[in-house]
A and B are shown apart, each in its own frame.
Chain A
Amino acid sequence: MTTLVPFDEALAKYSPVLGIETHIELGTASKMFCGCPTEFGGAPNTHVCPVCLGLPGSLPVVNEKAIEYAIRIGLALNCSIAEWCRFARKNYFYPDMPKDFQISQYDEPICFDGYLDVEVEGETYRIGIERAHLEEDTGKSTHVGGATGRIHGAVHSLVDYNRAGIPLIEIVTKPIEATEEKAPLVAKAYATELRELVRALGASDVRMEEGSMRCDVNVSLMLKGASQWGTRTETKNVNSLRSVERSVRHEIERQAAVLDAGGKIVQETRHFHENTGTTSPGRSKEEAQDYRYFPEPDLVPVAPAREWVEEIRAGLPELPAARRVRVKEAWSLSDEELRDVINAGALDLIEETVAAGASPAAARKWWMNELSRTATAQGVELSALPVTAEQVARIQALVDAGELNDKLARKVFEGVLAGEGTPDEVVAARGLKVVSDEGELVAIVEKVIADNADAAQKVRDGKVAAAGALVGAVMKASRGQADAARAREIILERLGQA
């Protein structure tokens, strides 16, 4: 069992330096170098062709959309876009890599030298971006014979190459320094911001649970005030935002313990374990990897025309940071309210609802209360609920028009979520409508006044507050469908208080 130094203690003595390499699958329809679909799922080895199976004689051809997405991401990360760059072969043997080399980029990445600002507890950290380059994903192995599909003790493995050749962009940060005790949070904030950014760019849907975004997190410690960085470890394939934070925290605690005990950090690859929040070393190699990179002779250089780059720049959508500023202002939100909206995944939904005609306050109210509760209860993402922004806006429009009140509106939501149809269909089918027929309402009011003589007398005597009880009785008698405000007006009128 690894001994750890408590986080605060570790940070009192050491300064961490981080580096994050993030792989994101791009949302192209076809693979990086062939026309096979990138669609998730599918029977094993059916989204394959001679190219992505690495069959002898096959040749790669670059997917133009992947280049465009890479440039889009690079521009949004404030990177320079290479005027000329090449793909390179990274040579190493592995069964899930069909050609036993990966087509990647080596010393000539398509995007380089940028930054991304992230906010942690009101403070802005500028994360330098070293480079962003394109490469291809590998296949997927299932290990048979060991304990629950794990690699250790497996007797043999089964390989599915459906994922092989899916385009990946690898985004590499510059060393992240001076974050001190915020290091784990900065790491998480960076991963979060990057995910939001790439999503906003439409370059990937970034589903971490499907492995379409994976982080390799480098951590090293040096004594506070030192200028020479310590030896780093690299924790591979960290697959959730929370894990990014936890893995950094754990490595800080673990490395501090090793250093405190007079030990040395070994430069190595480590694996993160979701269940324990700890890392463990990967297999140590008898000899250092030598990837023998060289320019990929089967592909020609990529030299994006400046006009194309500028066209892509002009077409960039509003980026998350700018959007947050705009939305906060336009919707009059506090920092906390905005954070809640973002964390709930409701930003797009609310914005679409506003675009469909609802007021920001109303749109936020429905999504953040009624609908968030339902999503939580069902254990699904807000966006996965079977209700559209247009439908939310329609329901709110009915409320605004006085045809529904809040209570009835909730019933309409109930119906829509239950699959009973559009809001208007639910209203019709369930007969949910505020009683707006004046004659009918007057009749109910007169009956209520007659039945509640005492209360009516109090109102006549000037105790206007007593009208509340009468309004309640009207609502009850109308089974909630009366327009409460109008009922009150009529009651006061009849009892001489108008």
Chain B
Amino acid sequence: MSITRDEVAHLARLSRLALGEEELEHFAVQLDAIVSAVARVQEVAAEDIPPTTHALPITNVFRPDEVQQTLSNAEALSGAPAAEEERFRVPRILEEED
């Protein structure tokens, strides 16, 4: 398995990173080395081993359906790069994706 420059470009688009040509080339070389190394996991992991997603086997952690203190509008917008009419102002949105 190897990672090409084009694959890095695809992954960069998917993860919203506008990378320059030089960065793409450089990352492709590094990621290829990393992926080759970490692919070792495939050597030991047999089919019958269950995956571990959580370190501890905790289940059913819930909170009661109670309304808690909210932020004020000013607090909510305090870090916003731009705000207008009590809302977050963002650049034009292309189209709903979902």
Contacts and interface: CB of A to CB of B under 8 A. Distances in A.
A409 interface: no
Contacts of A299: 61
A321 interface: no
Nearest to B82: A156
Contacts of A377: none
B90 interface: yes
A118 to B, nearest CB: 27
A158 B10 contact: no
Given A35-B66, A46-B73, A94-B97, A300 B61 contact: yes
A302 interface: yes
The B interface, classified by DSSP as helix, strand, loop or mixed, is: loop
Contact of B85 (A44, A154, A155): A44
A290 B14 contact: yes
A304 B62 CA distance: 11
**Interface bracket on B:** 35 or more
A63 interface: yes
A143 B92 contact: yes
B42 interface: no
Given A44-B87, A158-B87, A28 B92 contact: no
Interface in B40-98: 53-54, 58-73, 76-77, 84-98
B96 to A, nearest CB: 7
B92 A154 contact: yes
A163 to B, nearest CB: 12
A312 to B, nearest CB: 14
A460 B54 CA distance: 98
A92 B97 contact: yes
B26 interface: no
B22 to A, nearest CB: 23
Interface in A226-273: 236-237
A66 interface: yes
Given A151-B95, A157-B92, A48 B71 contact: yes
A94 B65 contact: no
A156 B67 contact: no
A63 B70 contact: no
Contacts of B91: 156-157
Nearest to A285: B97
Contacts of A277: none
B76 A61 contact: no
A96 B85 CA distance: 16
Nearest to B93: A157
B96 A35 contact: no
Interface of A: 28-30, 34-37, 43-50, 53, 61-67, 84, 86, 92-96, 102, 138, 141-145, 151, 154-161, 236-237, 282-283, 285, 287, 289-290, 292, 295, 297, 299-305
The 7 A-B pairs of least Cβ separation, nearest first, read A35-B68, A65-B65, A64-B62, A158-B87, A44-B86, A283-B95, A303-B59
Given A45-B87, A62-B62, A145-B92, 11 more contacts: A29-B66, A44-B73, A46-B72, A46-B73, A94-B93, A151-B93, A161-B88, A237-B96, A282-B95, A287-B10, A289-B97
20 contacts: A35-B67, A37-B70, A43-B86, A45-B76, A48-B71, A50-B71, A53-B76, A63-B63, A63-B65, A64-B64, A65-B64, A66-B65, A92-B97, A151-B95, A158-B90, A159-B88, A283-B94, A300-B61, A301-B54, A303-B59
